[in-house]
Amino acid sequence: MASTLTPEQDEQAISLIRGLAMDAPLHANSGHQGTAMALAPLAHVLFSRVMRLDPTDTRWPDHDRFVLSNGHASILQYSMLYLTGCGLEMSDLKAFRSYESRTPGHPEARHTPGVDVTTGPLGQGFANSVGMAVAERVLRDEFGEGLVDHFTFVVTGDGCFMEGISHEAASLAGHLGLGRLICIYDDNHITIDGVTDLALSDDVVGRFRAYGWDVVELGEVADDVDTLERALLDAKDVTDRPSLLVLRSHVAHPSPDHTDNYKAHGNPFTPDDVTRTKEVMGIPDEPFWAPEALVAAYRQHAARRGAQWHGAWNERLDAADPAVRERWDAAWGSQMGVPGWTDDLPFVEIDSKPIATRVAVNDAINATFDHLPGLIAGSADLTGNTGTKLSEGAQQSAEEPGGRQLFYGVREHAMGSAMVGMALHSGVLPVGGTFFVFADYMRPAIRLASISKARAVFVFTHDSVGVGEDGPTHQPVEQLASLRAIPDLQVIRPADANETAQAWRAAVEHDGPTALILSRQDLPVCTDGSAVAKGAGIVRESDGEADLVLVGTGSEVSVCLAAAEKLEDHDTAIRVVSLPSWDRFERQDETFFDEIFPEGVPVLSVEAGTTFGWERYADDSIGIDRFGVSAPGAEVLDRLGINPDHVAARALELLDGTVAKGAN
């Protein structure tokens, strides 16, 4: 679509962007102007000539995704969202990096209109973009190019490619042949400490070619808008592999004093620096210079393009077959499933044959697979072990673009971040599994998922020292407490198959990320699953008023039930509570809390992990405040006190008042 902007307006717009890149950090006394100044022409070309976007609906499903992986240059993205009329105004730019502004220090999805993904920690955005490209491919195969036909553009810097996650993500993208992923590498040779030669001598071009990417070395064309446009459009024609465009830029250009100076990366210019640079650019030396006529022309140009693309797309959506439309609405809706999708959730009769919750989650996923059109499942080389194996889904690949079984290989870092990218792309529900102890590899992605409320389901199995012979390196102890500490992360550790099915439901319906913590070993079927809904529930009521409450999660609920049976011989009335989700429980009112934990009744918690945090609910806690040991799982649990006899004995001690509150 031809540009309606004149060459003079192009030049003015680039100067405006560079001016804002200096003015906003100066006004905030904080920020990064150097990269934004250097990449102003690239941003102008992307937003005015290449990318499909609709300023009136920045969440339009078929818009091109834009990821600023080097998110410290956020003022560049904010300037473009202002210029194109995507929801930001000059007042937002003047509030850059201030309290509750729509222009925080790094781009935040769901906070700033037009921001597709939350970026900042270097390399994460690049890995997010791989997930976005996967989501687009799967949805295009499901619904056709008439409804899904867009690209993912990601801007990266040297720091992104130094971070190890970039290696995993780039390798995966090359293997999958993600032809609609276009990365622009801002090769400016600068980091905070100084020139990249201090710590980097990689052959980035050779590295990405080895990954299977199409690599184009653009050279010194950072200010040549026509060459940039041709390169980006050519990259769109490469359909069998992702593209890397290597752009040699100069940080802080065209500053007469700080071009190529590493100090310009993170230190705001002084007023004199800004004055001298604006003199070189030939624009007025006034803060936040933005000629009304130019801004109006730019916004009209963006709106015209968006209206044409979006209008034609709306017609195609309206003409879609009703069956297609039902699945489309499910994929892009708040529930993710077609009406009645929960009807097929498994239910197992209590006291049936024991089943590991990692197996039970696989049963739940496969029972509902056909009714969740956006579901994409996979694992980091542990598909069968973690219950993320689809019984019907084809393997995701260039040959099977609609494949919803994604084999990530041994790439936990990339898996976590790609899942976040898929979730923020929208239209898909990513599910990824690995052993619980390896959640540590994924923590940055889980944290960013929580910040951005990305609906991703992290399946963590082999959830305790019950892992057994693999020993302490593979036996999670502190991981559960650490995930519970992350705000806005839903954490569920189900007690049995029925709680697992309901945990899967809760994960699908939750507007944000979920961590499912599941067992390796078989567990008795001992609940009806209802405790998940409110985070807690009574699974064994005492005869009469309870003398003591035993509360457990996961595999320890059945241990509590067995201990309660033993305590009957001591003429004690025991209530057993399953507490699969602390965060869901905390959202309930005080009345429900008192129903679960009656005032004045002592509480003993049992969980095969660190006791950290249990003091909020329990008067005494049985747990594992040490690392595990290599031996058969059942033996390790028994020797470390996770057994009915030990629980019963500690319960009696608590009732006798011989254990101080909070003792371990």
Catalytic residues: 412
Beta strands in 201-276 (DSSP E): 214-219, 243-248
The secondary structure element, H or E, covering residue 366 is helix 357-368
Nearest Cα residue to 73 out of 319, 251, 284, 305: 251
Q: Are 554 and 536 in contact (CB under 8 A)?
A: no
Q: How far apart are CA 103 and CA 567, in angstroms?
A: 59
Q: Are 424 and 133 in contact (CB under 8 A)?
A: no
> Is 145 exposed, middle or buried, given 0-12, 13-18 or 19+ CB atoms closer than 10 A?
exposed
Q: Are 450 and 512 in contact (CB under 8 A)?
A: yes
Nearest Cα residue to 259 out of 25, 14, 22: 22
Q: What number of CA atoms fall less than 13 Å from residue 478's CA on the CB side?
A: 7
How many residues are given for the chain? 664
Strand partners, 190: 195
Q: How far apart are CA 144 and CA 139, in angstroms?
A: 8
3-state class (DSSP) for residue 156: strand
Q: How far apart are CA 336 and CA 371, in angstroms?
A: 9
Q: How far apart are CA 649 and CA 618, in angstroms?
A: 16
Q: Are 478 and 612 in contact (CB under 8 A)?
A: yes
Strand partners, 185: 156, 246
Fill in the amino acid letter for 70: N
- Which conformational region is residue 578 in: left (phi greater than 0), alpha (psi within -120 to 50 degrees), or beta? beta
Q: How far apart are CA 121 and CA 377, in angstroms?
A: 25
Contacts of 136 (CB under 8 A, 6+ apart): 65, 148, 150, 151, 152, 180, 425
Q: What is the DSSP letter of 196?
A: G
Q: Which residue has the tokens 């808008």?
A: 225
Q: Are 180 and 137 in contact (CB under 8 A)?
A: yes
